[in-house]
Amino acid sequence: MCARFSISSPLDMLRTLFSFSPDFHFSPSYNIAPGSQVPIIRKDIATGEAVVSNAQWGLIPGWSGTSKPRSNLINARLETIDIKPSFKHAFAGQRCLIPCTGYYEWKTDSLGEKQPYLIFSASNPLFFLAGLWDTGSAPQEHDLDCCTIVTTEATGTPAEIHSRMPLTVTRDYFTEWLGGMDRTSVPSPSYRETFSYYPVHKKVGNVRNNTADLIEKINLDEQPSQGSLF
């Protein structure tokens, strides 16, 4: 699964690919956790143009009658995305891209302790996760745009850390993913990122920590023991 990631690049990198209002703001964040506001790129339902907006990470299906995200809807498994009631509607017409500069996974070491790693694109400092979005609402409450990250079976380098990985979309496949309605528009491996990784400090496990040093490579020999994921 993907339960923590970073967006450390300035918005100028997004502006080279998409146009959006100067009123839109998103500060670098090095430890994005479920429930956080994140930027997403989606097709505007009225115009069909790609737009950039903020959404809360944790999908709330529009039919659920609530504005509270469920923690188990931060990820959507690609294998069942078109049949699960929580995701199939969004998969058929409400897809998005979620910018990312790296995501974190934990691996249990030989001493039984969980060591975090930053996994990042081998070729693009800013890459894009495949996502779904929806608008949850409840009586007498404001509508709330929300999103989830699509995950798939890990292959290549990430498989050394975890059995799952985010589905990614390369820049030459944005239109197909955002406009797709079924599995024929799921990017093949040739339209996905390849990854590298390195170990990072265990303090990334505390969601209150959100500083630039979280994404720095560490020497495992200097890593303190007994880190906590949350």
pLDDT (0 to 100) of residue 13: 82
Q: Is residue 129 situated within a structural domain?
A: yes
pLDDT at 72: 72
Q: Answer whether residue 225 is part of any domain.
A: no
Q: Tell me: the pLDDT tens digits for 88-125?
A: 999 999 999 999 999 999 999 888 899 999 999 999 99
**pLDDT of 122:** 94
Q: Cα 23 vs. chain centroid, distance in angstroms?
A: 23
The alpha carbon torsion through 17, 168, 56, 92 (nearest 10 deg) reads 100
Residue 78: pLDDT over 70: yes
> Measuring CA to CA, how many Å separate 149 from each of 5, 59, 141, 164, 223?
11, 9, 25, 12, 30
Please tell me the distance from the alpha carbon of residue 195 to that of residue 216, in angstroms, as a whole number: 16
Contact between residue 95 and residue 133 where contact means Cβ atoms under 8 Å apart = yes
Q: Which domain holds residue 39?
A: 5-19+27-218
Residue 226, in any domain of the structure: no
Considering the domain boundaries, does residue 146 fall inside one?
yes
* Structural domains of the chain, count: 1
Query: CATH no. for residue 203?
Result: 3.90.1680.10
Count CA atoms closer than 13 A to 22's CA, side-chain side.
0
Residue 56 is which amino acid?
Answer: Q
- Residue 228 resides in a domain: no
The pLDDT tens digits for 137-195 are: 554 455 679 999 999 999 999 999 999 999 999 999 999 999 999 999 999 999 999 99
Residue 84 C-alpha from the chain's centroid: 19
In a domain, 189, yes or no: yes
Look at residue 119 and tell me if it is in a domain: yes
Determine, yes or no, domain membership for 104: yes
Could you tell me which of 90, 88, 107 has the C-alpha nearest to residue 164? 107
